[in-house]
Amino acid sequence: MIDWNDPGFFLAVARAGSTAGAARSLGVNQSTVVRRIAALEKELALRLFYKKRDGYRLTPEGEALLPEAEAVEASVQALVRRSAALESDFTGSLRVTTAEGMAMGLVPQLLYAFHRAHKGIQVNLLIEDRYSDLSDGHAEIALRAGPPGNGSLIGRKLSDQCWAVYGSQGYVETYGAPATPEALNGHRLIGFEGPIEHITPARWLREVAPDCQIVSRSNSILGLLFSAQSGFGLSLLPCQIGDPEPSLVRVIDPQPGLTAGFWMLTHPDLHKQPKVRIFFDFMAKEIVKYRPLLLGQTRPARETAAPELTPPLSAIEANPCEPADNPDPDQHV
């Protein structure tokens, strides 16, 4: 019998390409990784890696066993999720993952409100650029803007989220404000790069203003905000970030192509866990007070604004995301 931990060391080395990288990912000493790989090769009577000058490479035998090791990993993760789902009280911890743009102000406020209502549950916030699939046990819940997923998760739409175009007062005084989205072609813009260059607002900007002058790019929402505040150029920002900033002028109001959903997601194995259920139900009610901010309704619309994209607040409150006659409003997303 092999040590059940050894497939984990095998996968870490295969993914990192070195024992040093595997040790960092696992939080152990490099000598431990080397020793466990040697023990696994001895127990299996197979050579799993070629040791090269630039790192470790899988042998054909190692390549053949890689899917089996991944299956072991997936089974262990499923066991952990199922055990978590069997918890029956409202204590312990919840790990919530979200992107940088959502973590700027709004999500911490929501989590603090939840903490005050349920002091026995510790909520840990994980800010990541990548989308976690929640199957690896890294987090129990994801709060995401944009498309919710590929059908492998259970989710609830909390609200729509709108973006708009902002600039500093100094920029507007120097260059003026565009009267229409197409007029952005004559302005200086902050562009998108890296993990955010394929999100809906980035595509909208490329389609509406292909001839605008991109004077700088950023790979983060925080970078877009700082660039706009500096007067470097105009920038697209989520309304919940741009509207509260007194140094920014909203020059283009939310447009039909600048609206995305704000979703709360979890893994199907965790959906019935009491802590997850109470978190879902609390957030669905708490988000109502923040919808005007998410929808860009906290600033007066410019005269050139497009027709209103969403129902007025009274209509939203009368028709929340969780229908009163639906005992389980969550769905596969």
Could you report the per-residue pLDDT of 103-120, keeping only the tens digit for each?
A: 887 899 999 999 999 988
Q: Is residue 301 part of a domain?
A: no
At 211 the three-state DSSP class reads coil
pLDDT given at position 325: 41
Tell me: pLDDT of 131 over 90. Answer: no
Q: Do both 234 and 287 map to the same domain? A: no
- When pLDDT is cut at 50, 70 and 90, the band that residue 323 belongs to is very low
133, 195, 267 from 136: Cα distances, Å: 7, 21, 10
pLDDT given at position 77: 77
Domain containing residue 20: 6-85
Domains in the chain, number: 3
Q: Do both 154 and 20 map to the same domain? A: no
Q: Is residue 54 part of a domain?
A: yes
pLDDT given at position 306: 36
For 164-216, write each residue's pLDDT tens digit. 999 999 999 999 999 999 999 999 999 999 988 988 999 999 999 999 999 99
- When pLDDT is cut at 50, 70 and 90, the band that residue 329 belongs to is confident
Q: Is residue 304 part of a domain?
A: no
Mean pLDDT of 10-23: 93
Percent of the chain past pLDDT 90, that is, above it, reads 58
CA distance 78 to 5: 16
Asked whether 95 and 142 are in contact (CB, 8 A), the reply is: no
CA distance 6 to 46: 14
Q: Do both 247 and 285 map to the same domain? A: no
Domain ends where: 85, 106, 126?
85
pLDDT given at position 300: 74
Q: Do both 266 and 220 map to the same domain? A: no
